[in-house]
Amino acid sequence: MIKKISEKDKRDWENFTSKKEKLEDKDQILKNKHNKIDHMEIDLHGYSLDDANKKIFQFISECYEKNVKSINIITGKGLRSKNTEDPYSSSDLSILKNSVPNYIKSNTELMSKIKSINFEEVISKNSGSFSIYLKKN
């Protein structure tokens, strides 16, 4: 069965092809949706306190810009530290494990990007990492 093209369809097609407007690339939109990153992780082992704070600020900001949903921050438990003379890196204080979450909580710019922090993981002696859930950008 051969169907004849109506005059209206012909006019619509001519109008469509004569316009110089660019069409939205739906394939690119779908590709971007599928490439969305839901989760990222950073390991702060070996960082000094200042370097860890700078790195975490940069990392959270970048993840927020990329609309990452959650971040896992690995600080370590602080059990392997041999330095007992320096309280900022002693095994008793587990400095990164405790100070990084405190730094994040006290930074209003970072907290404006954060939906929640899993503080149960921070407090736990068995955990050397904690999770952050970010707001949508």
pLDDT reported for residue 13: 85
Positions in the chain short of pLDDT 50: 81-93
Element holding 34 (H helix, E strand): helix 26-34
pLDDT, position 84? 45
Q: Over the stretch 79-114, which tens digit does the pLDDT of each residue have?
A: 554 444 444 444 444 578 888 999 999 999 999 999
For 39-132, which CATH class?
A: alpha beta
State which H helix or E strand residue 40 sits in.
Answer: strand 39-43
Beta bridge partners of 133: 70, 116
Predicted pLDDT at 78 = 57
pLDDT of residue 92: 43
How far from 3 is each of 45, 54, 73, 118, CA to CA, in Å? 70, 68, 63, 64
Residue 83: what pLDDT? Answer: 46
pLDDT of amino acid 85: 47
Q: How far apart are CA 99 and CA 56, in angstroms?
A: 11
Query: Whats the size of the chain, residue-wise?
Result: 137
